[in-house]
Structure 1
Amino acid sequence: MRSRSAIFVFVALAVLPAFLAAQDAADTRPGIAVMRFDNAGSHGDEAEAENFEALEVGLQDMLISELSQNSQLRLVERGALQELIREQELGTEGRVEAATAAEIGRLVGARYMILGSFVDVFEQVRMDARVVDVETGELLRARGVQDRREQIYGIVVELSQAITEDLDLPELPEAVQEERREREIPSEAVTLYSRALVFQDAGRTDQARELLQRVTSDFPEFVEAREKLEQLPTG
């Protein structure tokens, strides 16, 4: 029987041309891919378990969005990464290790892979990001940010800026950083948005649309929700 690593290489070689063809050969910006967040659970509030499961996808998408505010970075689209992982059946059996992340990163043309995790302890949320160097497979940095659950969007913003700083990458202009920090995105908006993404990934477009419409109506500052709503297929 073939080993899992052999199967990985075989499938990687099979799908590699399609992914490389999607990359702009002239684009020399550092590429970054963000994996789905690992959920370490909610301790002290079992009623939030379903919402925290949805945050695995929501936080991944939001961190991609924050990093993509910087035009000097190239972010791998979540859909492309998701398709690759689905093809190879990776990331469904627990935490993805640095070596596997590096292999995925090479396949999607990323320079760095971000492996995120989060935990809620009595409404105190901590997010951690591990940065893998795709070229060497080494774990370069690990950074954690903690705040009240209500400030979950602000945690993502801070984590995004910390990653850029740690890797000595070009930073967002200070005015843009300040604008992102000042946005008032409550935790309710984040959880609704995250659940909408779960529905979208499952092909449940009507449910995704309903939640995104609610977010755009109740929380107009959350422009990412409006963008996702506009991208949903109609009919």
Structure 2
Amino acid sequence: MSPARALLLLLLCAQTTLAATPSKPPPGPAAVMPFRNLNGDTSMDWLARGMTETLISDLRASGRVQVVEREQLEAALAELNAQERQQLTESSAVRVGRLVGARTLVLGSIQRADQQVRINARFIDVETGVVLDTAKVTGPLERIFALQDEVCGRLLREPVKPRAGRPSGKAAVLALETYGRAMATTSPDERAWLLRATLAGSPDFAYAQEELSRMDQRLAELARKVEPEVKDEESRLRVVLEDLKRPADERSAAALQLLNLTRARGRWRTLIRDSERILALDLPEHLGRRPSEEASLYRFQAFGYLDDWDAQRVAGEDFLRRWPLSPMAAYVDLMLRTTASNVAAGQWAFEKMRADLATEEQAAALRITALEKKGQPTQEEHRKIAIRRCLEHNNHPRFRVHALAPCRTYYETWSASATTPAQKNDLRYAREAELTSLVGLRRYAEARERLAAFRQEDPDGERISHARATVLNIGAHEEE
């Protein structure tokens, strides 16, 4: 072989090897800086904020690059002055990147023109300040998530799969707007309200689900940190109210503080025990408030939160007998009437649901028989009626226990054969319904066990589960 021919063959082999080598994403951690709104109209800030947050979420979900968490980035951005934050330059962004330990920065902007949108992004090496790559995409606003996928794919240097649960068309714009406004507000209550509004229109919108879960986890972590101090305070107040050597007024003040503290924390069983002890002590008024009256009221409310309707009725009648002239007597009387009506209505609705479900099952049986005679598959008919058994029972809070068996049966029976997105979503709905029922029944240990099984079988589904945060947030005081 001639030297020239050998050289050509070597070059071809090198090119083939290079082409076969998958490209790697830029080094992590990556910090996504707040996208700039180039419209110059603050009413469009939701678009820039929404793009920033959804891009962060998609990069994190890809598993291809580590992402700097928002709280860490915001703390570093707070080190800049107001003008620097408003007009974030490459040099100031690099400074922030170094503060948070990032190796790659994402600097971006977004601009809307009527129903078109343009997204620009630069990917910068923090150590050198060199621009590693750029992405520029333009398209209809209603394809905003597809455009974002192009930017995300450019950063990861490979095409990305569209996230499940994202709406399209006008629904996509509406979901992104309410989500972007939620992420832009500094009020936790307003943010939670807007996130729930987003989910009302797009129930499977993963970005809103993730943020609600993050908010719940932060609240749970805060509660865990203060738990020892609160328990010490409860113990101190109980000692004071039981100490016969202390002034009666001081004991009454301790009793009222204890009731308020226990009620605020949702410790319903403990509240019942404390209330009954305070009723037995019959302490005098303190600043116009009677400990026995409030203990009687809180005891009534606690039974309601525990779904113990019979005990609540007895406690309510006891309150009205003790305190017929209380300003809260009308409220207790109304609650007793409403509860009795709701219990009766709930029982009627439950029985009607069972009858309707039985009718549906008979119709399904006829369809299955007809399909069998034709030699056609019947699996989908069986599956549909099975998920209905689970979800319909879960719709009746007072009868949650009846949802447990059909929901578990569903996901254990149909997990192996679920192939379509709809079938996989039904599996998640069944697990979600089971967890919700277990928490409602206060079977917390079992709820944690089933959540762990959910995580093992379907980690993506468990991560965006509404019930996940509820189970994780169960405090030790709620076990009682």
Q: TM-score w.r.t. structure 1 length?
A: 0.72
Distance 1:52 1:151 in 2: 17
Distance 1:139 1:87, change over 3 A: same
Distance 2:164 2:206 in 1: 14
Corresponding residue for residue 141 of structure 2? 149
Corresponding residue for residue 130 of structure 2? 138
Distance 1:178 1:103 in 2: 32
Distance 1:147 1:232 in 2: 33
SS at match of 1:69: helix
Could you tell me which of 175, 180, 183 is aligned with 1:194?
180
Distance 1:180 1:232, change over 3 A: closer
Q: In terms of Rg, which structure is larger?
A: 2
Could you tell me which of 89, 93, 102 is aligned with 2:81?
89
User: Over the residues paired in the alignment, what is the CA RMSD in angstroms?
Assistant: 2.3
Distance 1:88 1:144 in 2: 28
Alignment partner of 1:117 is 2:100: no
| 1:60-99 superposed matches below 5 A | 60-89=52-81, 92=84, 94-99=86-91
State the AA in 2 paired with 1:63: L
Deviations 1:34-92, CA, capped at 9 Å, x for gaps: 000111117xxxxxx45421223221111111111222311001121111111333665
SS at match of 1:87: coil
Alignment partner of 1:211 is 2:194: yes
SS at match of 2:134: strand
Alignment partner of 1:230 is 2:222: no
Could you tell me which of 141, 154, 159 is aligned with 2:151?
159
Could you tell me which of 44, 59, 62 is aligned with 2:51?
59
Alignment partner of 1:32 is 2:8: no
SS at match of 2:61: coil
Distance 2:154 2:210 in 1: 25
Whichever structure has more helix as a proportion of its residues is: 2
Distance 1:86 1:74 in 2: 22
Distance 1:182 1:126, change over 3 A: farther
Corresponding residue for residue 20 of structure 1? none
**Number of residues of Structure 1 aligned to a counterpart in Structure 2:** 189
SS at match of 1:178: coil
Distance 2:82 2:97 in 1: 13
State the AA in 2 paired with 1:37: F
2:182–2:195 Cα contact (<8 Å) kept: yes
Distance 1:55 1:78 in 2: 17
Between the two structures, name the one with larger relative contact order (CA 8 Å, sep ≥ 6).
Answer: 1
Whichever structure has more strand as a proportion of its residues is: 1
Distance 1:192 1:182, change over 3 A: closer
Q: CA deviation at 1:206?
A: 1.8
Q: Gaps (5+ residues) in structure 2?
A: 1-26, 220-263, 265-480
Percent identity for Structure 1 against Structure 2: 30
Q: CA deviation at 1:181?
A: 7.9
Distance 1:194 1:183, change over 3 A: closer
Distance 1:93 1:212 in 2: 26
State the AA in 2 paired with 1:52: M
Distance 1:225 1:83 in 2: 22
1:153–1:190 Cα contact (<8 Å) kept: no
Could you tell me which of 77, 93, 100 is aligned with 1:108?
100
1:153–1:187 Cα contact (<8 Å) kept: no
Q: TM-score w.r.t. structure 2 length?
A: 0.37
SS at match of 1:154: helix
2:46–2:181 Cα contact (<8 Å) kept: yes
Distance 1:156 1:179, change over 3 A: closer
SS at match of 1:84: helix
State the AA in 2 paired with 1:150: E
Distance 1:133 1:91 in 2: 24
Distance 1:50 1:63, change over 3 A: same
Q: CA deviation at 1:140?
A: 2.4
Distance 1:182 1:212 in 2: 15
Moved more, 102-111 or 178-187: 178-187
SS at match of 1:192: helix
Deviations 1:178-217, CA, capped at 9 Å, x for gaps: 3428842511100100101112xx2x12211111111112
2:47–2:180 Cα contact (<8 Å) kept: yes
2:165–2:204 Cα contact (<8 Å) kept: no
| 1:165-184 superposed matches below 5 A | 165=157, 171=158, 177-180=160-163, 183-184=166-167
2:166–2:206 Cα contact (<8 Å) kept: no
SS at match of 1:232: helix
2:192–2:212 Cα contact (<8 Å) kept: yes
Q: CA deviation at 1:33?
A: 0.3
